[in-house]
Structure 1
């Protein structure tokens, strides 16, 4: 039976491959690096607009996605703290601090690297960052304490209700010196430090507040070491369990503080602790849990652009990551779908596509500044090659794929209609003012109808390893959007829109 199923699967893969090849012939003409096959400017606007649909708290008068209303207005009151605001990370109504901090870091990094090219979208990008940092400042208001989650995820997931209606427990979870969480604390420090660079010119006093808080929070992360999943396991696992440990976040946090403060103490920290914090690990996955690759790319800039000789090894570590990605090369370790999409895992794969594309474009920028290339097993990989690989991934996401579908809601002629997202799938307050109870919302969840509210700009988990996408609301692995899928995409779309004269 196993042999038969394997054989039939192989036949299926072959037929899919031939299908994708026949479809790919007309599509591939778009992949000429000098031809823009997409309206990257439009996609950029939408990728930032999405964050307004994820807002928790009291919405401002400038709110553009009007089907959303105020929600979570008493968040934190159970612990007598103000935790109103921030973002719902994905399609549910819990506020998870770990992915929220990573989202804020990546939005900030997008602006740091490419904000100068953003033109009219820069203000919107800053607003998206500030919505995150305002919340992170509240969550870190008390020394040696960080409020890392609002909402009981298990009870929240037992309901399908609008954030505006939610009546599930808004339990508050925290880390402190007795129950540490270096991973979430150091990521929060990274977010505050990165954002301080974003606001340095436009709002110097806010920038200073963010940086001072980042320094304090990183000190806490480093002094009280431990993973937040240990003390909070029943509440944060399996949702945002820290699988990669906290060492990567300490290195990442130190890298951001070094960038933001220029204090040699952080450079020294990286030099002394780099090896023990896993700087030379060979993993090549970058996302909300594992920051090693991002830290390598960020730190390598200090060597490439600022010529900090002691960080020479980080270029080697960053190069190893780049070599692992080159499609079709003998030294590549990455898996791609028949249609050409980087494929890491079935659950929310698109987050790895967007984060990797951003790293490719950012590293290409650093290499270009230093007139350097990457050498992989004797082969020379130029910055231009990295940009072509990144563009190919973004173009796939926007519609150059066997399904001929954009995986960004509201972009292109065909996009996911039934995303796994409570607010989007239930009628809005405007059309249905009466409360929708916890379990009655499941009727909408199970319905075949398209979502009534378009969550513009939301990028979903994406297709499977064979480029298939069923567009089913219950399929959270493929149909759920998340803030950390969009955050790095903002930087990539800015670069592409600028390169093709759209900004």
Structure 2
């Protein structure tokens, strides 16, 4: 066994490399939150810092006599997808709950980013028995390359209800509202109460009328945000956040009773907008470590297995030659899995430190500091410690992508070019142009390099060059930890 331990230790050094000093994590944190202002839909506030953006989507929902203004565009297009938006909100809230105390002046901006989403989600859930889950027709939107301020594609509104269930998107929305309720509990009690009450109601809709939202909305949510993993993982995730927010035994009992049927033992080691089991394991492991809820002990064991699965030199760990983790179901847009994984590592290390415990992998003690080391190397890779010397956060460092797949960033700002840029004209002016994006989407983390550390700064290659809110959201927490550690 000694030889195996040595091999793992050697691999850790070779794959992850030596730590390099010099990253300005505070600057990266500020930019990672600023990015969300570039994704805003609706009437922009007076304190908008991303100055090249203008108002957009001001009539969203009007044709259906509902108010669906606000919220976020998920990535480089102009559709508001409720499923990834809710997950983004959950992860932003979790970042603040764990590491908000380390955010300094950025904490207020992080809360504003959360509230921009929750104000929208509250409107989406305003009608009992119904949840609005999308604004915009993706097929039409993707046939145009235009600024959000110029949108003229259909802004159709889509919903789930008892007849057309969507347990996945409803449970994720409940999780987002419950998590956010804890963020605002001490500073805005009435708002926090409204968030939690709505979360309880939306989760009841998800649980009482079970089904995947892509069964009834396949033509508009697939293949973009189809529910590939199904809805059981979201039901367990939503119940876990409600248990955390309410401390009600009702939800702990739900977890105990429904966990096996909802697949809590499924072999997954990734957290994403579509797959939540790993996040649930980390949250429930906290209940064991810090609140001594021994009946949830199996979740701690599953969380420990996750840590062991990432150790370089083991058969389950995949890293690029330059040390970037590849543990997702696909190598495309890989950084979405890296940022969520690093957040979970920092978070679980925090729980272990507080409870004075370690993880044992094949008789090797993995301390919280070793877990943080693995996580930090991934963040450093994103910020530029990689074979190309490329920061995959736009606006950070001396070298970052200049041709990201993002409509608003790639076209002249409405303030520089007030005339409308039509649907088709935008392709030559933006998507197919060889010029750098005229507007810097500060803080945007893109899909990232391939599994050989190669990256083409090509606007047409959306799998590598497109940013997304759910890539940034968990990174906010990781950067907050590093900025004050």
**Please, what TM-score do these two structures have when normalized by structure 1?**
0.92
2:451 is the counterpart of 1:468: no
Give runs of aligned pairs for residues 146-295 of structure 1, distance below 5 A: 146-295=131-280
In the alignment, what sits opposite 1:339? 322
In the alignment, what sits opposite 1:140? 125
Tell me if the contact between 2:17 and 2:323 (Cα under 8 Å) persists in the aligned partners: no
Q: Alpha-carbon deviation of 1:107?
A: 0.1
Q: Alpha-carbon deviation of 1:259?
A: 0.4
The more displaced of 393-402 and 316-325 is 316-325
Supply the distance in 2 between the matched residues of 1:90 and 1:215 (Cα, whole angstroms).
29
In the alignment, what sits opposite 2:304? 319
Tell me if the contact between 1:346 and 1:478 (Cα under 8 Å) persists in the aligned partners: no
Supply the distance in 1 between the matched residues of 2:288 and 2:466 (Cα, whole angstroms).
38
Q: Alpha-carbon deviation of 1:224?
A: 0.4
Supply the distance in 1 between the matched residues of 2:331 and 2:64 (Cα, whole angstroms).
37
Q: Alpha-carbon deviation of 1:29?
A: 4.5
Please point out which of 482, 492, 501 is paired with 2:478. 492
The more displaced of 316-325 and 86-95 is 316-325
Supply the distance in 2 between the matched residues of 1:437 and 1:486 (Cα, whole angstroms).
30
In the alignment, what sits opposite 2:382? 397
Supply the distance in 2 between the matched residues of 1:65 and 1:72 (Cα, whole angstroms).
17
Tell me if the contact between 2:19 and 2:377 (Cα under 8 Å) persists in the aligned partners: no
Supply the distance in 2 between the matched residues of 1:308 and 1:461 (Cα, whole angstroms).
38
In the alignment, what sits opposite 1:436? 421
In the alignment, what sits opposite 2:7? none
SS at match of 2:399: coil
**Please, what TM-score do these two structures have when normalized by structure 2?**
0.95
Supply the distance in 2 between the matched residues of 1:484 and 1:314 (Cα, whole angstroms).
24
In the alignment, what sits opposite 1:410? 395
Please point out which of 49, 57, 72 is paired with 1:87. 72
Tell me if the contact between 2:336 and 2:447 (Cα under 8 Å) persists in the aligned partners: yes
Cα deviation code 1:130-168 (max 9, x no counterpart) = 000000000000011110000000000000000000000
Number of residue pairs matched? 469
Q: Alpha-carbon deviation of 1:378?
A: 2.1
In the alignment, what sits opposite 1:481? 467
SS at match of 2:471: helix
SS at match of 1:148: strand
Tell me if the contact between 1:102 and 1:187 (Cα under 8 Å) persists in the aligned partners: yes
Please point out which of 55, 58, 63 is paired with 1:70. 55
Tell me if the contact between 1:110 and 1:488 (Cα under 8 Å) persists in the aligned partners: yes
Tell me if the contact between 1:247 and 1:277 (Cα under 8 Å) persists in the aligned partners: yes
* Unpaired runs of at least 5, structure 2: 1-12
Q: Alpha-carbon deviation of 1:346?
A: 2.8
2:441 is the counterpart of 1:458: no
Supply the distance in 1 between the matched residues of 2:209 and 2:274 (Cα, whole angstroms).
19
Supply the distance in 1 between the matched residues of 2:136 and 2:444 (Cα, whole angstroms).
23
Q: Alpha-carbon deviation of 1:28?
A: 4.5
Runs of 4+ in 1 over 6 A off after TM superposition: none
SS at match of 1:299: helix
Supply the distance in 1 between the matched residues of 2:88 and 2:317 (Cα, whole angstroms).
24
In the alignment, what sits opposite 2:42? 57
SS at match of 1:375: strand
Q: Alpha-carbon deviation of 1:334?
A: 2.5
SS at match of 2:19: helix
Supply the distance in 1 between the matched residues of 2:101 and 2:312 (Cα, whole angstroms).
31
Cα deviation code 1:107-136 (max 9, x no counterpart) = 000000000111111000000000000000
SS at match of 2:442: coil
Cα deviation code 1:224-270 (max 9, x no counterpart) = 00000100001100000000010000110011000000000000001
Q: Alpha-carbon deviation of 1:340?
A: 0.3
Supply the distance in 2 between the matched residues of 1:141 and 1:128 (Cα, whole angstroms).
20
Cα deviation code 1:426-465 (max 9, x no counterpart) = 0001111000000110002101100000000000000001
SS at match of 1:441: helix
Tell me if the contact between 1:30 and 1:37 (Cα under 8 Å) persists in the aligned partners: no
In the alignment, what sits opposite 1:15? none
Tell me if the contact between 2:42 and 2:58 (Cα under 8 Å) persists in the aligned partners: yes
Q: Alpha-carbon deviation of 1:79?
A: 1.2
Cα deviation code 1:178-207 (max 9, x no counterpart) = 000000000000000000000000111100
Q: Alpha-carbon deviation of 1:85?
A: 0.2
Cα deviation code 1:77-107 (max 9, x no counterpart) = 1211000000000000000000000000000
Supply the distance in 2 between the matched residues of 1:37 and 1:109 (Cα, whole angstroms).
27
Please point out which of 369, 374, 386 is paired with 2:354. 369
Tell me if the contact between 1:57 and 1:70 (Cα under 8 Å) persists in the aligned partners: yes
SS at match of 1:305: helix
2:290 is the counterpart of 1:305: yes
2:19 is the counterpart of 1:30: yes
In the alignment, what sits opposite 1:122? 107
